[in-house]
């Protein structure tokens, strides 16, 4: 059953709440900045992200609560500076990466809250209620925003990560995996006719490594903490 509300700008479709208009408190940023210290600001940003759990399109991923588990792990166990330095340092061939200050991290977190919130808001589309008969109709009626596609990708990739990556809170796997690849390349160059080489590496890790490069580049361009 679908219920539309002209006042609050939302749709209730099969017990799923879909927002059509941003309703984030306009004083959200200033309220957080007025908090006394970094820890309380960090907790306030976490609470804002946690409150969005029921309007995030999680899909049918491995975990029952993928979004909740992901943000809890990111806040409790992972230093964004550590992750950022591991990824950007590797991209820049181990050159020094400037450490973000606490104020810069809070600014990025507030931007991230807005970004994730925007992912819950459907864009206006005159074709949203049209009858779908062909693929072109489906494309026309799509109301997903860029933010929603990115947030869903982040959740999906987190759910697909093997534990050796997901629980490496220092992100050492990026350096170790790249070194492993380079070692194999050297073996192949030294013995090009050999059919089998000692050691192995997971080809899937290449995709996860490239994903980390991509999402961190997005974070740098948009000042986020995805």
- What is the residue-wise DSSP string for 153-178? HHHHHHHHS-HHHHT-TT-HHHHHHH
Query: From residue 115, how far is each of 22, 52, 222 by CA, in Å?
Result: 11, 11, 10
pTM: 0.78
Q: Tokens standing for 88?
A: 């950007």
- Is the Cβ–Cβ distance between 30 and 17 less than 8 Å? no
Among the residue ranges 8-12, 35-39, 84-88, 92-96, the one predicted with the least confidence is: 8-12
pLDDT (tens digit per residue) in 188-225: 777 777 666 565 567 778 899 999 999 999 999 999 99
Percent of the chain with pLDDT over 90: 43
The average pLDDT across 175-193 equals 79
- Tokens 């941003």 map to which residue? 22
The pLDDT assigned to 200 comes to 59
Residue 116 has pLDDT above 70, yes or no: yes
DSSP string for residues in 12-62: EETTEEEESS----TTHHHHHHTSSSHHHHHHHHHHHHHGGGGGS---S-S
Between 80 and 59, the more confident residue is 80
Count Cβ atoms below 10 Å from residue 19 Cβ, excluding itself: 18
């Amino acid at each position: 059953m679908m219920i539309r509300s002209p006042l609050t700008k939302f749709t209730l479709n099969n017990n799923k709440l879909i927002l059509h208009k941003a309703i984030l408190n306009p004083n959200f940023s200033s309220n957080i900045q007025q908090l006394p210290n970094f820890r309380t600001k960090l907790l306030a940003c976490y609470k804002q992200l946690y409150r969005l759990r029921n309007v995030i399109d999680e899909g049918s991923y491995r975990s029952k609560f993928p979004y909740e588990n992901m943000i809890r792990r990111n806040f409790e166990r992972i230093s964004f500076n550590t992750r950022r330095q591991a990824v950007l340092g590797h991209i820049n061939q181990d050159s020094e990466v400037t450490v973000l200050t606490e104020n810069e991290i809070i600014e990025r977190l507030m931007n991230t809250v807005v970004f994730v919130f925007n992912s819950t808001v459907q864009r206006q589309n005159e074709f949203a209620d049209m009858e779908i008969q062909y693929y072109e109709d489906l494309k026309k009626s799509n109301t997903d925003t860029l933010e929603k596609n990115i947030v869903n990708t982040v959740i999906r990739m987190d759910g697909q990560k093997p534990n050796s990556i997901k629980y490496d809170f220092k992100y050492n796997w990026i350096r170790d995996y790249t070194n492993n690849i380079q070692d194999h390349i050297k073996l192949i160059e030294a013995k090009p006719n050999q059919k089998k080489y000692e050691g192995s590496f997971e080809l899937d890790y290449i995709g996860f490594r490239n994903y980390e490069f991509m999402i961190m580049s997005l974070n740098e361009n948009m000042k986020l903490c995805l």
